[in-house]
A and B are shown apart, each in its own frame.
Chain A
Amino acid sequence: MNSQPPPITCDNAEIVHKKGRVLNPKTKLSSTLVLALGNDIMGDDAAALVASGMLKEQFAEDADFNDTMEAGLALMDIMAGYERVLLLDTIITGRHEPGTVLEFSQDDFRKVVGPSPHYMGLPEVIQLADRMSVSFPPVICIIALEIERPVDFAETLSPGIKEAVPRFVQKAAETLRRWKKEGY
């Protein structure tokens, strides 16, 4: 690839270049997906799944919902064919307080570093899809909740993360409302 597409963020998603294509935001080419990643028996790792459940109550008519603990190639299969994906996950940057809500675009995850079939991250999935000409969502918005690494098995969230989930949901809901307004 000689040139990288312009950065795509959640805010400038009205005009999106993908393989030379300019998408018309008024045209709903395919549906929106809310993809929540997490493990429901790993304590705070399940925060995105909890948030997804709450969002579904409000947006069931506007998007497909998929909760999964899979990674790697499975994500490519799940996301392929959608026009926009709102990806909910937990994150461990160590640079923010647990409970902080963060927002990224796929452009923040472009660099490919040491992929694994088991732990193939979003950067690898995006680049692989691009090379394989897979119909991949041109817009991926990522909302993540900072957590501490869970090391114990548990079916409940820690008090601090439980308290942060409504903020997590609110941030995700803002994106879904904006997309809805734009005709997606």
Chain B
Amino acid sequence: MSKRITINPITRLEGHGKIEIFLDDAGDVERAFLQIPELRGFETFCLGRPAEEMARITPRICGVCPTAHHIASTKCLDDLWHVDPPPTAKKLRELVYSAFMCEDHFLHFYFLGGPDFVVGPTAPATERNILGVIAKVGLDIAGQVIAMRRKCRELIETMAGKVIHPVFGLPGGVSKGITEEQRLEFLKTAETAVEFAQFSLNLFNDVVLKNDDYVKLILDDAYAHRTNYMGLVDENNKVNFYDGHVRVVGPDGDEFARFAPRDYTDHFAEHVEPWSYVTFPYLKSKGWKGFVDGPDSGVVRAAPLARCNVADGMATPLAQAAYEKMYETLGGKPAHATLAFHWARLVEALYAAERMKELLEDPEITGTDIRTEPTRTPDEGIGIVEAPRGTLVHHYFTDDNGVLTKVNLIVATNFNAAPIAMSVEKAAKGMIKGGKVNDGLLNMVEMAFRAYDPCHACATHSLPGQMPLVARVYDSTGKTIKELRR
């Protein structure tokens, strides 16, 4: 008797999704699918608008990553108008962006990924949430997370205004600089962030790495894929969130491509499936080979661990030490363990905090030359940043007046859509055997996609209410024979 298991909606995923797991007669997993209801028409919505509005419109796509969209859009506008911002403007943008990355990564570790490890992957669902994390780590740490987030947000809002409606990035620069007084205040935030990131890595060490079962789970083949990886790197091939070249490495870690954002379309194309609005980017030269990994596959992963895999290291000393320790435990580079994304996220949080501090100690950060006026005729632009979840691409075309004629946005979840589908199926096959299905096992399947922190909701609001997770097992006649409800 074949069975179908449905997890709908998936918890702690941005946007409602559904996992369907089909069992064969032996009760083992035959296939598993991840389906996400997608919003549509954003690119069309933008056509006919002045391109400079994009830096203000795109943050409203997504209440999670508004700053990533704002900065990617701003960089795209630079490219569109062929204008190079002054050094101070670039540093101010990177400062704001580092604060955003720091805030987002901390939140993810403690509130989204945290429950799986801090509370435990098979803990009761009622405890596997933020309140469970608080019960484990204590109110003081939870308070520090919230305070850290608030300080980073204050920096962002001081510079950019409301995060959803930023008025900061402009083609060729930024709208405002910082005073010496602000610099000193922000520096305190950066120093606190460095300390908190170190504390978080120690916590990860104590709670996760000292637990053999968790380490085994992280390294379990059910959570591994030998894919290509992508991410921005600086001139020394170190991880960079704001600028640089896109580097792609193969499953063996060898460099496959390294190119300027301008050349993005020479290297990537998008595959479409009839059952999804999500597009699936792939490496053009390898071609679309389906939802498979391995050296011949065109599928690429973009995420914190992907960035670490493509880089030769981190550009700041403390993060570099944490990076080396991570790969030592994971057995070298590249690491293919999906659950290690959480670890890489903390290494990156430390880098973001250190980078904030570096930028604030740079005398140029209080400079007043913050914009180069665009003078050339706009035509086509591409802007790329590393969003918390992976590479984010904005690509615009305009007429001579700067009115948009074509828009394409590729978010990290596009790059990761195929890997997520593959990871969910592989985890389901590894975790569910002989028809044994329970809440803990289903959560371990969910953990496969949660590591990617996929973001599909695009800020559509509905009243904050319950987000029930229902898992149903059907027999071949469609009759429900088992139901798990959270």
Residue numbers of A with Cβ under 8 A of B are 37-42, 45, 68-71, 73, 75-77, 89-92, 104, 109, 111-125, 127-128, 131-132, 142, 144, 147, 149-154
Contacts and interface: CB of A to CB of B under 8 A. Distances in A.
Interface in B326-351: none
9 contacts: A38-B461, A42-B461, A69-B63, A89-B462, A112-B131, A118-B457, A131-B131, A149-B37, A149-B462
Nearest to A68: B164
A125 B64 CA distance: 16
Contacts of A116: 11-14, 111-112
B238 interface: no
Nearest 3 A/B pairs, CB to CB:
A114-B11, A121-B464, A122-B464
Interface residues on B, range: 35 or more
B42 interface: yes
B247 interface: no
B466 A113 contact: yes
B57 A41 contact: yes
Given A70-B164, A127-B131, A121 B42 contact: no
Contact of A41 (B13, B45, B64): B45
Contacts, number: 154
A147 B410 CA distance: 29
A70 B107 contact: no
Interface in B1-16: 11-15
A13 B332 CA distance: 61
Given A116-B111, A118-B112, A124-B130, 16 more contacts: A39-B63, A42-B460, A69-B459, A70-B63, A71-B63, A89-B462, A109-B465, A114-B467, A114-B486, A115-B130, A116-B11, A118-B63, A149-B37, A151-B37, A151-B38, A153-B41
B111 A90 contact: no
A75 to B, nearest CB: 8
A113 B177 CA distance: 42
A151 B277 CA distance: 11
Contacts of B15: 119
A151 B458 CA distance: 10
Interface in B25-73: 37-42, 44-45, 57, 60-61, 63-64
Contacts of B465: 91, 109, 121-123
A128 B149 CA distance: 15
B468 interface: yes
Contact of A125 (B41, B150, B464): B464
Contacts of B57: 41
Contacts of A75: 464
Contacts of A38: 461
